[in-house]
Amino acid sequence: MPKVTIDGVEIEVADGTTVLDAALSRGKEIPHYCYHPGLSIAGNCRMCLVEVEKAPKLLIGCATTVADGMVVRTESEKVRRARASMMEFFLINHPLDCPICDQAGECKLQDYAVEYGDGRSRYTEPKLALSKAVDIGRHVMLDQERCIQCSRCIRFCREVTGTGELAFFQRGERAQIGIHPGHRLDNPYSGNVVDICPVGALTLKEFRFRSRVWYLKNTASVCAGCARGCNVVVGAAADDHDQIGRLRRIVARYNGDVNGHWICDEGRLSWQRIYAAPRLMTAESPAGTPADWDATVAEVAETLREAAGRSRAGAILSPRLTSEDLYAWRRLFEALGGVEAGVRRIARGEDDDLLIRADKGANAKGAEWIFGAGATEASVLESARAGRLEALLVVGDPLDPDDTARLDDDVRSKVARVLFVGPFVSGAAEAAPVRLPMAAWSEQDGSIVNFRGRIQWLRRAVGTKAEDRPGWRIAADIADAAGVEFPSFTAPGEVLAALARDVAEYRDVDADTVGMLGVPGRTEAPAGA
């Protein structure tokens, strides 16, 4: 393994490591625009020029492989001068529209201009005037003037999605990113080009001009759009001055074991689903009439307890509920003496070979671990149709109103009491005379398990004005009202601790071991099996 000295510190790195990566591995960022760890090396921005002893010229850190004994300086006068000159070159034709640019605040051009640029410009010629708002795809707008031609977006479309919609057109300073004639940037991952654009050239239609990024509260979380469980950062704007906030965007968060650097457009925009249907604001009984929480919980508890006592209670749960919710419901059902529970399966489209899964149940695997594979929505509905259920509890989908279970007329006519717990007035909620509001995705902490059995942690990013509770707490309230034995859960970590003791796949898991990147559940067969 070669040893390289970077700014006086000798480090040992793997063969083939680049100077830029070697520096980064020790927490030292060599400034760069075109380099992206998920894409091929382009070497075009020239921002990462560093001084290598015995090399006649400065070399670009992103494309220079370390050799044993190499001595690299990343902060020498020569290097700083080169960086300052690159910043000057980048800025001569760059528009001064930071005040209305969505990238402002998280713009590498701004950051490096502060760090390495000169406060004044020597450029007095007219700047190039180019197109400012080119509609290149379903979700993406292009500003030709802001583009610094790093080619990340082009490489993304060629190397990651293989769709190749983007290219350079013209040459020299007239060179522009553009879309091939007759094409649109409509691949299912198009939003990633906005994430990787180091400047404000590519913006997301659903985010542009909606919020200044410095007003966003960013929360590391996990996408609940499908069973992949891509790692994301959820940005919420607290524009109500009441700490509730409103979701504004989702961007990709790197996790090499799950999604790499990317997320799909559906996941990126999944937050919009939360605003796609009316929220259930308070407990309601009868439907449409606000009711006291405790009284409504008592009503639900009584209904369930009586039906369960006669073995005539059923429940349908969303596969997007957290493991903690699902486990609390299971404990409640057990304590009530038997509720026939089934988990919905939400499937749309097909698996692709990048990230998208047809199974939209973000926690379908966790539900399977907790309830077993046989606990299906279909079997519960079959019991309902056969007249075997007096009470049916539906726990709705926390992300998408349209994915909440629906009950057809046949089921509705055969079940005496439909009880609903969920965030939205949608699906089965419309048929339910008794409703309890529940926290939606991004409004509570909890774990979900992706299709590969990786346990990951969702984090609360916003609140709501609704009188809602996390699902596990509602289950606890109902247990309390029903007077059945139930653990005293006060935080999702406590539910997870109980789950870890009870369900083999969660053994030894807690919020710390899950961390920011998740941890594989215990799926290995027991010894000797």
Would you say the C-alpha torsion 432, 437, 438, 441 has a positive or negative sign? Answer: positive
Contact between 158 and other proteins (CB under 8 A)? no
Residue with tokens 């927490």: 27
> Which is closer to other proteins, CB of 49 or CB of 434?
49
> Residue 42 CB, nearest distance to other proteins (Å)?
8
Question: Is residue 130 part of the contact set for other proteins (CB under 8 A)?
Answer: no
Closer residue to other proteins in complex, CB, 148/519: 148
* Coil, helix or strand at residue 222: strand
Q: Is 173 in the site for other proteins (CB under 8 A)?
A: yes
CA atoms within 13 A on the CB side of 63: 15
Residues 6 or more apart in contact with residue 238 via CB below 8 angstroms:
215, 217, 244, 245, 246
Does the footprint of other proteins cover residue 49 (CB under 8 A)?
yes
Is residue 85 a contact residue for other proteins (CB under 8 A)? yes
Question: Does the footprint of other proteins cover residue 92 (CB under 8 A)?
Answer: yes
The torsion angles phi and psi of 502, rounded to 5 degrees, stand at -100, -40
CB of 45 to other proteins, least distance (A): 6
- Give 199 or 346: the residue with its C-beta nearer to other proteins: 199
Q: Say if residues 8 and 61 touch (Cβ distance below 8 Å).
A: no
What is the gyration radius of the CA atoms in the chain, in angstroms?
Answer: 27
Interface with other proteins (CB under 8 A), residue total 34
Contact (Cβ atoms closer than 8 angstroms) between residue 73 and residue 62: no
Question: Smaller CB distance to other proteins: residue 120 or 241?
Answer: 120
Alpha-carbon distance 340 to 320, whole Å?
19
Residue 90 interacts with other proteins (CB under 8 A)?
yes
Could you say which of 7, 88, 382, 494 contacts other proteins (CB under 8 A)?
A: 88
Among the listed residues 9, 129, 175, 416, the single contact to other proteins using CB under 8 A: 175
- Contact between 244 and other proteins by CB under 8 A: the answer reads no
What is the smallest separation between the CB atom of 93 and other proteins, expressed in angstroms? 6
Is residue 86 part of the contact set for other proteins (CB under 8 A)? yes
- Using CB under 8 A as the binding rule, whether residue 82 contacts other proteins is answered as yes
- Separation between Cα atoms, residue 350 and residue 352, nearest integer Å: 6
Buried b (16+ CB within 10 A) or exposed e, 349-377: eeeeebbbbebbbbbbbbbbbbbeeebbb
144 binds other proteins (CB under 8 A): no
Q: Which residues bind other proteins (CB under 8 A)?
A: 41, 43-47, 49, 57-58, 60, 63, 82, 85-86, 88-90, 92-93, 122-126, 148-149, 167-168, 170-175
